[in-house]
Structure 1
């Protein structure tokens, strides 16, 4: 492919690492086409070094502080195309990598932070409420647990098997449920004195819908952010009405540019400082070369990943 050229308000970045997400698996299978104007190949997040700064960059990102310069370390959210040696990034979607955070670690964070924080906002979650993170050991869940706790929420999470349960607990969850052996509904009700949780962040979709609704407290909010267990299920509307509950689904990649910019501004203001101070730390499971991208996908599909899989040039 030709060398990309940064336009107004854009950065040309030499990719040091690219995150692998389940969205990439869906795209590879033909189920998740990139948005109009995005590169055809996968990759929703990267970190690396600024090689060139497009015109108008300072004005395009007033919250960035000092102007972007060649040599700055950057992490960024992308609409696609991260599996590449060079990417062009709108500065509104870029984050300065703080000292003490490696390029590998930085590449594992933009998509998860944007997903988690934006969906906690969608759920109107406030400090003191209880959130259940379905899939606490995954790329999103392993960020959701410490971020939600740092924002003042009581965090319950699910994981599969004793080892993963302990590792998710170490991320800061107040309680971790083993979805392989626990009765999840009973455990959640026991952990909440029979009340249920205020918010569920769910990556499973159809296969978890009934349990998620049963575990919600009155006025609870279920936010569906993944479809690992299917896309179609029956919903007990009577129970939904009785609990005055809300079910909402969101997708980050297809959002308009202005919405993505607003989400990343929120990440920059409220989540990235927690990363810089070490309160929220990424969990890197494995690293593969770009030439081994197929192996990286198989690793993620295996269900054995705890945290993030990354690609490096």
Structure 2
């Protein structure tokens, strides 16, 4: 008896990210901003399985609340799959199964990680050979954080954040992240930043955003104490203005041993830098006991990659 063939299935894992440093320029006429960011990929992952389908479909589950994740063509991973199909001239479809562990609308690039994973998975499933350059070209069309989710590690992003240069980072950096039940809209946070700057509530936009050299020196030295002096996020003022409840856990963390605390990306996830893994675990226990949902992660880690099995 001949058993029916099992359809091929490709599993790709992609990391979430933290913006160790994030400087935002003024708003352009198209509503976008130039930025300068030091990205670090961390050990909180999105898993995507791709298998042949008659159409382009997606299912979403995970350890985080996925209620707000679209399961139609608004989903960035589905858009990524369609891009690969057009690029390869593939006339079939794909079903994507996404299992999320990165907070949704949390400022850690979970949707971008899904898209990066879908690019790699579909290219592998359909026998493409787009290579690093081809995948990054498609990634840049999907959003500023997607190329970094492909690359992983530590990198400096300029322009819209998608012009990436790898940055040397020695050793390991340990972070505690504090998650929130309710996400923040990235466009809303940027608009509020522009409003705060227009009212002179905060300083003006830099003419040309740049990453402080101190950040790069600290990363290169593998020195979290030195890095703590330079971590910064221009979106933090806007995120805290929209969500003042985030101030309390930030202050609690800094008084409980965190070297530094910042809002991650557009928030509301908080990223708390610690001296080492032991300090991170102690801080996580303290914050959890206080009632905050916290996780210990470390970076840098690899970008989107095919998993065995």
Q: TM-score range by the shorter chain?
A: under 0.3
The TM-score with structure 2 as length reference comes to: 0.26
TM-score when normalising by structure 1: 0.26
State the structure with bigger RCO (CA 8 A, min sep 6), 1 or 2. Answer: 2
